[in-house]
Structure 1
Amino acid sequence: MTGVMMQYYVVCKRELWFASRHLEIDRENPAVVRGQRVDDTAYEEERENLSLGMVSLDLLQDGRVVEVKPSSSLEEPATMQLSYYLWYLEEFADAERDGVLVHPTERRRQPVTLDADRRAKVEDTIRGIHEVITSDTPPEATEKPFCSACAYHDFCWC
C-alpha cells in the first residue's frame, strides 16, 4: 500500500488497477511532466524524500509532514494521500504528526489533521484498494472530467 495508491483510488479505481499491475504511464503526458517539474524544483534545498517502509514523504517542516502537489485541482485525492501518511506514521512509527498540502505554483498551503473521521476514511480506503488490486480484471471505464489528462488515457479510451 502506497500513498499514490490512495490518491489513485479516489481519482479512478481503474487507474489504480493499472498501476498495481506496473503498467507504465505515458511519461510525456503534460500533467506528468508538470508534476515532475514541481517535484524536482519545489523545496529542492529542503527536500529529503524520507522513505519509511511503504511511504515516501516529500519533507518534514517544523515537525509537520509536507506533501507537495502541482495544483489543488485534485484536492481530495491529495488529502487522502497525506492522510494515509499521517495514519501510517501513527500506526507503524508511533509518531503523531500534522500535515500540510503545499501547492507552490498557487502559493497555497492547506493544513491536514488525522481526526477520527479522516482515520476511518483512510481505513475504509485501504480495504477498497485491496479489493481493486486483487481483482483479476480492471474496474469498468467511467469517463470523468480529467480523463483526457490521465497518463493511462490510452488504456481506457483508444
Structure 2
Amino acid sequence: MSSTDVVEEYIQDERDPSRSPSVPITGLMVQYYHVCKRELWFMANGIDIDRETTNIQRGTHVDETSYGTSRRSFMIDNRIQLDILDSGDVMEVKVSSALEKPARMQLLFYLWYLREIHDIDKDGVLAYPTERKRESVILDETSTKDVESTVRGVLDVVGRDSPPQLEKKPYCGTCLYQDLCWM
C-alpha cells in the first residue's frame, strides 16, 4: 500500500461513522511527532506522563486564562479539542514559541482535519500570550502536504512494536519521559 493510500484510508475511516480509524490521531500526537518520535510512541502505547507537573499545569493555566471572552472550545469526534475565536479562526495557545514548528503543525493538523473530514475551511491563529505574540496560519498546498506527511509518520511510529531509536535533543533534560530514555 502506498503512503498516499494510508492517508486516504485514514480520511475514509474518519468520515465513515461505521468505521473507526486504526489510530485515532490527535493534535497532541502531531505535536509529539515533531518534538520527539519516542515521546509519541510512549504516549500512544499508554505510557503517559504525569499531567500534574508544574510545566503541564502552567501550560493549562495559560491556555485557560488567555483570550477567554473571545474564544469558545469545541470537542470534535471525542478527541479533537478546538478553540474558535469570535472571528471564526481556529486558535492554538502555547506558553512559549520555543517549539514553534510542533505547535504550527498541531494547528495545521486541526485545519486539515476540519477540511478533509468535515468539509469546513478555517484559518488559524497561533498565539503565545506570555510573549505577546500571535501569527496567522493558513492551510495551503505546501502545508497540506506537510500535514499528510505527518499523518503518515504518526501512523508509522504508532504502529511499531518498539519505540524509535533514542536521539539526544536539546530539550531532553526537561522532558517528562527522560527517565525512560536515559536510565
Report deviation, 1:28.
Answer: 4.7
Aligned to 2:14: none
Aligned to 1:15: 39
Aligned to 2:20: none
Unaligned runs of 5+ in 1: none
Aligned to 2:122: 97
* Structure having greater relative contact order (Cα 8 Å, sep ≥ 6): 1
Largest Rg, 1 or 2:
2
Unaligned runs of 5+ in 2: 1-24
Of 58, 78, 98, which residue of structure 2 is paired with 1:34?
58
d(CA) in 1 for partners of 2:137, 2:96: 16
What is the SS of the residue equivalent to 1:141? coil
- In percent, how many aligned pairs have the same letter? 49
Report deviation, 1:148.
Answer: 1.2
Which amino acid is the alignment partner of residue 92 of structure 2? Answer: E
Which piece of structure 1 moves more, 129-138 or 59-68? 59-68
Q: TM-score, normalised by structure 2?
A: 0.81
Which amino acid is the alignment partner of residue 119 of structure 2? Answer: D
Q: TM-score, normalised by structure 1?
A: 0.93
Structure 2 contact 96–131 (Cα < 8 Å) conserved = yes
Report deviation, 1:61.
Answer: 3.2
What is the SS of the residue equivalent to 1:16? helix
Structure 1 contact 26–152 (Cα < 8 Å) conserved = no
Which piece of structure 1 moves more, 10-19 or 38-47? 38-47
Which amino acid is the alignment partner of residue 99 of structure 1? Answer: G
Q: Give the superposed CA RMSD.
A: 1.4
Which piece of structure 1 moves more, 55-64 or 132-141? 55-64
Aligned to 1:3: 27
Aligned to 1:57: 82
Aligned to 2:72: 48
Structure 2 contact 30–150 (Cα < 8 Å) conserved = yes
d(CA) in 1 for partners of 2:44, 2:73: 22
> Within the alignment, does 1:75 sit opposite 2:75 as a pair?
no
